[in-house]
């Protein structure tokens, strides 16, 4: 990507989860790589992870008081209209002072007020939708957006077809380069060479069902000589670590959080994961056999829809959440013992990968600014 001396002002809004924050930072990085003179301002929701992660990535961020409406009856919902009005007011002020050429929304609470205010002022907007099932806010904002960048085919079900761009989801750069890292990964995590590795991911906070499934499966997996590199999540780490210790089973390695994801992916032979948009996009680039256990606790069951986009192409295995505890060991064993299946799953998921997603989104943004 060649550098340009042209300078632009961009606002990138949204966040709330890693699935929104990391693509946002990847887009900003790809843009500044090409236009290093540009100014980028992030707008997030106060108290959410973007308020920490964005400054760590070297960008300025402003926080809105916006929060989601509780699905159950809650006293918190009484303050919701006031938070929306306050966020709209601050969004208008930020837009006036910063005067951006373009506003990009990546989903999450802060995306709504900022994009809505920008559209009312006639500032061009771009939406980046990570999931295979569009949320209500993005569907409403898409009517006046100049472009919608998506990670799945068939999104004209939710968005105007003439403004859709199939770009994929931007992911962290280190995941693009795994060749030759297997030995490093095994050494880093204290794993033995020559023994198969199952990498289990339930997100940074953890996933109760996946953790319970691993506890149930670990005697069988250990007996088969498999090693389990297991991100338990911070809510469950102490409990899981204690249970593994008491069970005295070899080859099970619980960790609260895995920072060096490139080394973990490189070490793995099979990956077990939730099916959040970012996880799915990363795993397509890794090219290993994947077992998706979609979370049932998400809006519109979108994780199952994310997973099915891959399962329908024979690029992953789906294990429903309510069957995971009973069947995880059997599913892993079936894949481990079938080398042809391993090869096919790895090949098919790589065919769906979009390694240049961030650069493709930058091209869309350029076309609108110009």
Question: Closest Cα to residue 90, out of 61, 54, 47, 48?
Answer: 61
Report how far residue 60's alpha carbon sits from residue 75's, in angstroms, rounded to the nearest whole number.
Answer: 33
29 is in an annotated binding site: no
Report how far residue 217's alpha carbon sits from residue 237's, in angstroms, rounded to the nearest whole number.
Answer: 17
258 is in an annotated binding site: yes
18 is in an annotated binding site: yes
284 is in an annotated binding site: no
241 is in an annotated binding site: no
279 is in an annotated binding site: yes
Rg over CA atoms, the chain = 21
Report how far residue 175's alpha carbon sits from residue 286's, in angstroms, rounded to the nearest whole number.
Answer: 7
DSSP state of 146: S
84 is in an annotated binding site: no
Question: Closest Cα to residue 149, out of 170, 123, 173, 120?
Answer: 170
Neighbours of 32 (CB within 10 A): 18
DSSP state of 104: E
17 is in an annotated binding site: yes
Strands 197-201 and 164-166, bridge-based pairing:
unpaired
Report how far residue 305's alpha carbon sits from residue 130's, in angstroms, rounded to the nearest whole number.
Answer: 12
Binding residues for UDP-N-acetyl-alpha-D-glucosamine: 17-19, 131, 172, 204, 258, 277-282, 303
Binding residues: 17-19, 131, 172, 204, 258, 277-282, 303
């Amino acid at each position: 990507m060649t550098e340009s001396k042209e300078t632009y002002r961009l606002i990138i809004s949204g966040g709330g989860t890693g699935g929104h924050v990391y693509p946002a930072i990847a887009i900003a990085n790809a843009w500044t790589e090409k236009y290093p003179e540009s100014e980028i301002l992030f707008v997030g929701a106060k108290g959410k992870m973007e308020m920490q992660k964005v400054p760590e990535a070297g960008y300025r961020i402003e926080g809105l008081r916006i929060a989601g409406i509780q699905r159950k009856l809650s006293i918190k919902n009484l303050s919701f209209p006031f938070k929306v009005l306050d966020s709209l007011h601050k969004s208008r002020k930020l837009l006036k002072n910063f005067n951006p050429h373009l506003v990009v929304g990546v989903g999450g609470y802060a995306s709504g007020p900022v994009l809505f205010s920008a559209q009312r002022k006639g500032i061009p907007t771009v939406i980046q939708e990570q999931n295979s099932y569009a949320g209500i806010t993005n569907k409403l904002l898409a009517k006046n957006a100049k472009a919608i960048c998506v990670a799945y085919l068939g999104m004209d079900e939710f968005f105007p077809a003439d403004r859709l761009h199939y770009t994929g989801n931007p992911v962290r750069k280190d995941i693009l380069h795994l060749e030759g890292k297997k030995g490093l990964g095994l050494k880093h995590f204290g794993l033995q060479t020559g023994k198969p590795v199952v990498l289990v991911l339930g997100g940074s906070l953890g996933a109760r069902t996946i953790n319970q499934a691993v506890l149930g499966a670990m005697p069988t997996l250990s007996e088969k000589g498999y090693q389990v590199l297991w991100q338990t999540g911070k809510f469950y780490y102490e409990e899981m670590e204690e249970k593994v210790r008491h069970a005295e089973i070899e080859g099970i390695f619980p960790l609260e959080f895995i920072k060096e994801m490139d080394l973990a992916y490189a070490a793995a032979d099979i990956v077990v994961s939730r099916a959040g948009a970012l996880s799915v996009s990363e795993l397509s680039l890794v090219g290993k056999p994947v077992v998706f256990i979609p979370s049932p606790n998400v809006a519109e069951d979108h994780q199952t829809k994310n997973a099915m986009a891959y399962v329908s192409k024979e690029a992953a295995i789906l294990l429903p959440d309510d069957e995971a505890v009973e069947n995880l060991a059997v599913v892993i064993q079936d894949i481990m013992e079938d080398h042809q299946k391993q090869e096919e799953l790895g090949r098919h998921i790589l065919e769906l990968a979009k390694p240049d997603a961030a650069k493709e989104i930058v091209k869309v943004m350029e076309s609108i600014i110009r």
